[in-house]
Structure 1
Amino acid sequence: MVALAERRPRRKAVTFLLVLATVAFCAAAALRLLGIDGTRHMVATTALTPYSAAAGVLLAAVALLLRRWALGTTALLLSLVLVAAVAPRAFPDPRPVGTGQDVRVLSANLHHGGADAAALVGAVRDHRVDVLALQELTPGAVAALDRAGLADVLPHRVFLPAPGAAGSGLAARHPLTTRALPARTTFPQAAALVSVPGADVEVVSVHTLAPTVPGGPVPWQRDLAGLPERDLDGPVRVLAGDFNATLDHVGLRRLLNRGYVDAADQVCEGLTPTWPSRGYWPPVVLDHVLVDNRCPVEEFRVLDLPGTDHRAVVTRFVVPDP
């Protein structure tokens, strides 16, 4: 009887902890499944959905082993739904087999212009990049890139340098023409029509304001909503850069529903993190190349770039013959 009396408080404590963990997990799952990006803390929680899915599976296993059937079943069902949403990113998607012009796009956030210019230009050469999309491009970074020989490999450019995080730019192997975005964004985002041989490709260097700033996620939501959708009557369009959003955020999912595919997701690299490249925060996927869904994606890689907290991303896709 004494032993039984001693076990009861322990069982209650274990049950209480499992209830707390299940409630927290259910709240995190609800944010993702209901598409709620209400506050900066909610947005940050949604960014961790792949981790939440794994934690939910573990929580369900523990609860079921301890015979907390209601808690375990609830956690299991929700975690399976999250896993079903996340797991496909680790597998290649069916995509059309197209013939046409190969185009290679590299995107890099320079972290207030501090990225290693020589390493970036080396990556451009190694991967035979046609278009380079830059975020947080400062005047100092432009000078460093010129010293490193960027103009020798990508002689055409539209640069909008600015101090801090506001600058952006595009550099290309082929001639380009500046384009204006249809909506105003927090940071200027360089956009241009690149005259790739045999095809024109419109590229936007995307950089949305981080949703975790003290002012909240409204400007970030507005920036994502203002990005142009795919235009069936126009040239192929590509959005490349630091979206400050993962594939679990409703704003990015809506953008994908407007005629784009995520290049990483197409070739089973959708769970490869891009930020932070160092530090304590669990790494997440914030940098993307969204490609017109008429274009088969052939390759996607994430590259380490010294001097910045983001990893660069490079993709190769095919612009189909007319």
Structure 2
Amino acid sequence: MLKVILSVLLLALITTAIGYQQIQSTINSPLQVANSTQFEVKHGTGFNQLCRQWQANKWVEDCWRYQVIAKLDPTLTDLKAGLYELNNDSVIENIKKINQGQQVNFIFTIIEGQSLRDVLTVIKSASNLQNDLKVDKLSEQLLGNNSNLEGWLFPDTYHYHNNDTASSVLKRAVQKMQLTLNSAWEQRATDLPYKTAYEALIMASIIEKETGLASERPLIASAFVNRLNTNMRLQTDPTVIYGLGEGFDGDIKRKDLRDYTPYNTYRINGLPPTPIAMPSKAAILAAVNPPQTQYVYFVSKGDGSHQFSTTLKQHNAAVNTYILNKKN
């Protein structure tokens, strides 16, 4: 009788050892895919269905072993829909990636100084993104009102997943701009020539378009603020170009400076009616806290930087040095 009991125990130990080895082998078994293979898990996909799909692709030999593992660890059956990048790590590690929702990340970047038209053109061709934007109701869709959307998209890189919507990405850009602008406005300097945060946003967009050298944003802001505080017109080419829209051929002409548009700051007093681009945080901060200077003029040196002047005589001399002499 003792021999029978010992035989049964020995057989049980051998069976357990074999089973353990089988489990370990299953756990460590690699997924037979080329490295970095994208695979979409659709909504409602179950564990067995996933395994059969992988088996059909010849990524796993069979499914019953993984079904046993899933019985021992039910968390493996919690699959999150999305697009995943599979590799030749173990099958179990790849399944855990799906359990944890580690989807493939895509990026969309809004560049400082881009116009709304530019942003919309680029986002329409963004990969793996659903274009749900309603062109005729864009402001209502993203801002929740009928205000002009220009200037309200914060320049940054935004991450998204497969089949996310374009509106969800741009709403995040709007929210970030609103938070950035509100925070800056609360810390604004006194005696600014604008009464609302929106006017500061308009100014920031002009600063952004006028700046070739990032470090000069504060000086550009100071010159513009000084102009407005002394009832001078802004007389800045980027606003004129924006007002021309698609009619701008790349070369601003004297006629363009004379013709009236709401954005021609050679013809209008004060700020244009809306921003002309998407300003950076640095441009916003410059607009609400410009340094105190006497500058009211500046001219491009041709290398991205500017020569700043306090008098018209100094400005004319700078124009002669950096513009007229170069043309000659």
Place the TM-score, normalised by the shorter chain, in its bin.
under 0.3
Instruction: Give the structure, 1 or 2, with the largest relative contact order (CA under 8 Å, sep 6 or more).
Output: 1
Q: Which has the larger radius of gyration?
A: 2
Larger relative helix fraction? 2
Give the TM-score taking structure 1 as reference length: 0.25
* TM-score, with structure 2 as normaliser: 0.25
